[in-house]
Structure 1
Amino acid sequence: MDQQSVDRHFYLDDSGALDQGVWLYAWLGVPARDEARFVGEIDAFRAGLLTEYGIPVEFELHATKFLTGHGRPGGQELAPMDRKHIAQRMLDLLDAQSDLSVGAVYAQRELRYRLLRRETFAGTLRRIDVQLAAAGERGRLVIDGDGTDPIYQAVFDEVRPARVDGFEFVAAHESGPVQFADLVAYTAFQWVVRAPKRAFMHHWYPAHLAKAHGPERV
């Protein structure tokens, strides 16, 4: 199908812990007609972080590193409270979007790494397909990665989601929406596993993403 006929782009990223038997995918479903405005809001947000905190717009906001104090954006230290506040503001920006679809799906089973990821991605495809069918829409996936992982094509061919017209890969450092999807994935993951060291964010998913789906277990 022609790219222009796609109604919604789904930006996907994952999070998980094999030792706990948990893997999760989260998505941002951005209406194609509204994508330029949404990306513009992200760009404006990043420009604001540069002004307020000195965080360069090209600095990747990778949730597992950023929220654990790793990295010195702009060559300077950033207080833990500031990092948390920035992440919460990112989630609030998503929740304020009137027609943005946000959700997460996870699997929790004692499986080998690849099987656990396959099961989770399959569940994610089915969930997105159901959502698109209910809305009478068609979608396309934008997945964090370089395209070398064969799992995605194998699972896509197996599930064959009727409403999803394929997928493409974009590295997170090149995409603002993928970085936001990464934060949603990590936030949803912490809601599921309740890691003691991340107690400060256990409530973030329902508190800051009130309209989001899940996290749904498959």
Structure 2
Amino acid sequence: MDEVTPLLPEAILPFRLLKVPHVAKFGTVATRIFYLDDSGTVDTGFIVYGWLEIDIVYWSRALRCWLDFRKKLYRDTGIPADFEIHSTKFINGRDRPSTDARWNRSKENRRVVAQQALAQLAYMPSARAGAVYRCTDKKGAAYGEERAAVYTATLHHLDRQLAGSGDHGIIVMDGDGSDLSYQREHRKLKLATRHIVEDPWFAASDTNQPVQVADLLAYTAYQATLKHAGKKFMWDWWGRHLPAADVPLHL
């Protein structure tokens, strides 16, 4: 079999090269969508939530920018535009994302694509990235309870952030909504002052591209904070490819 020549690091470039500024307020109130997903494991004790934030007036343009990137990715790598890029599986060499079997055998190819995807966010109109994390020594059910507590803290963090700018937001999460604990936490927010609107909305990651981006952001933030020796190649991805984003916040 012929060896696959991986893309060079300098090939990690965004597809669309035209920046669009964030929403200008001029006294208006903005509404933002937060696509949110989690990462971390009980074995490491890390709990991470990452999100893609988009101003709703630029939603269609931001999504179009991402879909154009996925189309180009298909032309360049053979990864279909509707293939779910699940970061843990994709980056670690599992599944067969490309129609080219030779491409699939190279982990370096996958790492390049993941970095291209992160870099693309800078060129999606109004898109912002964010993440929070916590480390715990709790195990079993106690770890699950701690994960829920971190979500609650994340919810309040975003609500305060929106209150500070006078804006409102909607949270969209991976899942089917069967876990009602998320709904309960949203309903605990004081109605008179809350800026997160409604219960969380749920979307399946295999059919929702922005949720897949949130998954990539959560996993990237996880590796940036965990600093596992086997994932050293990812340690600087957050800072290098998301220079406008704050570092993951410890809650």
TM-score by length of 2: 0.80
Q: Are 1:107 and 1:119, in contact at CA under 8 Å, matched by a contact in 2? A: no
Q: Are 1:9 and 1:142, in contact at CA under 8 Å, matched by a contact in 2? A: yes
- Following superposition, the deviation at residue 100 of structure 1 comes to 2.0
Task: Output the CA distance in 2 between the equivalents of 1:54 and 1:98.
Answer: 26
Q: Given the alignment, which residue of 145, 168, 184 partners 1:115?
A: 145
Task: Output the CA distance in 2 between the equivalents of 1:153 and 1:96.
Answer: 33
If each structure's helix is expressed as a fraction of its own residues, which one has the higher value?
1
Q: Which runs of 5+ in 1 are unaligned?
A: none
- Following superposition, the deviation at residue 216 of structure 1 comes to 0.8
Q: Are 2:62 and 2:126, in contact at CA under 8 Å, matched by a contact in 1? A: no
1:163 alignment counterpart? 195
1:80 aligns to 2:107 (yes or no): yes
If each structure's strand is expressed as a fraction of its own residues, which one has the higher value?
1
Task: Output the CA distance in 1 between the equivalents of 2:41 and 2:64.
Answer: 33
Farther off after superposition, 158-167 or 198-207 = 158-167
TM-score by length of 1: 0.92
Q: Give, as a single letter, the amino acid of the residue that structure 1 aligns with 2:223.
A: Q
Task: Output the CA distance in 1 between the equivalents of 2:97 and 2:43.
Answer: 31
Task: Output the CA distance in 1 between the equivalents of 2:72 and 2:81.
Answer: 9
Q: Are 1:107 and 1:116, in contact at CA under 8 Å, matched by a contact in 2? A: no
Runs of 4 or more, structure 1, over 6 Å off, are none
Q: Are 1:105 and 1:123, in contact at CA under 8 Å, matched by a contact in 2? A: no
Q: Given the alignment, which residue of 113, 135, 138 partners 2:168?
A: 138
Aligned-residue Cα RMSD (Å) equals: 1.7
Report the number of matched residues.
Answer: 214
Task: Output the CA distance in 1 between the equivalents of 2:160 and 2:188.
Answer: 16
Q: Are 1:145 and 1:170, in contact at CA under 8 Å, matched by a contact in 2? A: yes
Q: Please list the CA deviations of residues 76-102 of structure 1 after superposition, one character each: whole Å capped at 9, or x if unmatched.
A: 242211111111111111133453221
- Following superposition, the deviation at residue 209 of structure 1 comes to 0.8
1:151 alignment counterpart? 181
Q: Secondary structure at the match of 2:211?
A: helix
1:214 aligns to 2:247 (yes or no): yes
Q: Secondary structure at the match of 2:40?
A: strand
Q: Given the alignment, which residue of 62, 71, 75 partners 2:86?
A: 62
Q: Given the alignment, which residue of 47, 50, 75 partners 1:51?
A: 75
Task: Output the CA distance in 2 between the equivalents of 1:130 and 1:136.
Answer: 10
Task: Output the CA distance in 2 between the equivalents of 1:216 and 1:119.
Answer: 15
Percent identity of paired positions between Structure 1 and Structure 2: 36
Task: Output the CA distance in 1 between the equivalents of 2:55 and 2:85.
Answer: 23
Farther off after superposition, 176-185 or 68-77 = 68-77
Rg larger in 1 or in 2?
Answer: 2
2:118 alignment counterpart? 91
2:43 alignment counterpart? 19
Q: Which runs of 5+ in 2 are unaligned?
A: 1-28
Q: Please list the CA deviations of residues 159-202 of structure 1 after superposition, one character each: whole Å capped at 9, or x if unmatched.
A: 45810002200011111111111100000000111111111001
Q: Secondary structure at the match of 2:248?
A: strand
Q: Secondary structure at the match of 2:83?
A: coil
